[in-house]
A = this chain, B = another copy of it.
């Protein structure tokens, strides 16, 4: 069973413009902007609720990021996925496969914050879900 919501990701066209709303208008203190060239994105986390809390994540795809730019063209800016923290992502993957869920990864991928798998929205009521195991 997932432990907690780790983050909720929002795709935006321009990180600085988005921060002008989330930071300056709404008043959330963001973390530093991170360039993640391996994933062709720039991101900023907006931590809420203290160390055990859940975060918003703003994601700006770089021009080379085909799939996220396609998402922006088709749906516009907005909610993209929800990331749930799990204790053991390998065990979660096995269990989900057994139960016939539409897992998008045959083995966990290395994400910025740990090891993760994605579930296709078709088995989770239209929601792209990430399951993340963080390092100890």
Contacts and interface: CB of A to CB of B under 8 A. Distances in A.
B1 A79 contact: no
A54 B99 CA distance: 26
A5 B78 contact: no
Contact of A78 (B77, B99, B125): B125
Interface residues of A, number: 47
Number of copies: 2
Nearest to A131: B26
Interface in A1-50: 1-5, 8, 10-12, 17-18, 21-22, 24-29, 48-50
A2 B125 contact: no
Interface in A59-84: 75-79, 82, 84
